[in-house]
Structure 1
């Protein structure tokens, strides 16, 4: 099985290109900065994971994703290689996206966060008489 799920922040706006031909397809590439759970001396605190989306997913990324946004993605890891201009073989690893979505809500920085009317201790009061209808009593 080849399945990866990541959540991180976009390091820059997605770069979108369209394939040539009659049925051109959008191809979006972006990099996610994914925080590491534990910090060790002399190691980076994040991994930078290249991602690629095709078709409608690429168009969605182009329209809505911006640098610094936190997004969640799932897909598969794909490896490959090519020979660069100097004749050296370069190995690549990227996540080919199956799903992508926002991982945080967009808020106005000055707007207060709405609170429930009776937040109290964070629990809702159970109305009187409902205990008789709970099946696991």
Structure 2
């Protein structure tokens, strides 16, 4: 059997971070996901899908994701039911995220955010250091610039 959901959309609200009685972090938010095909009026409809994230990943989502951010969620669909205050049975469909990936940098421009926000957060993965800026090539960096000797390469040495 297979229960797999992959979504890409924008957050409709800031994630809400809570903790269980045992101290486990849980965050919830919803994604606005456009449907692939327009309706009969030619307009694109949007689904608003509830997302639940657990543990360290929940804390990272609450810290770095904000309303309007583009994110990808990979997880499973969960249907649960509970009784509301009026005693009525309510069924809720939500996606329990296994992985959340940030697909944009958001509208914040401070360098601390841009350098420390992780691009993806699989459960339990440590945050990585920012990548160094790529070096622009300099002509004097060419090790063969002053070398007038031929390079002997046989066809057997080529990988293609």
Q: Normalized against structure 2, the TM-score is what?
A: 0.63
Bigger share in strand: 1
- The aligned runs of 1:25-44 (5 Å cut-off) are 25-41=24-40
Q: Give the superposed CA RMSD.
A: 2.4
Higher-Rg structure is 2
Aligned residues: 115
Runs of 4 or more above 6 Å deviation: none
Shift of 1:85: 1.9
Question: Matches of 1:37 and 1:24 in 2, distance apart?
Answer: 39
Give the corresponding residue for 1:68.
68
Question: Matches of 1:93 and 1:106 in 2, distance apart?
Answer: 28
Question: Matches of 1:44 and 1:107 in 2, distance apart?
Answer: 25
Give the corresponding residue for 2:53.
53
Q: Normalized against structure 1, the TM-score is what?
A: 0.73
Shift of 1:108: 7.5
Structure 2: unaligned runs, 5 residues or longer: 110-135, 137-150
Bigger share in helix: 2
Cα deviations by residue, 1:4-27 (Å, 9 ceiling, x for unpaired): 11100000000111112xx40111
Question: Matches of 1:92 and 1:12 in 2, distance apart?
Answer: 18
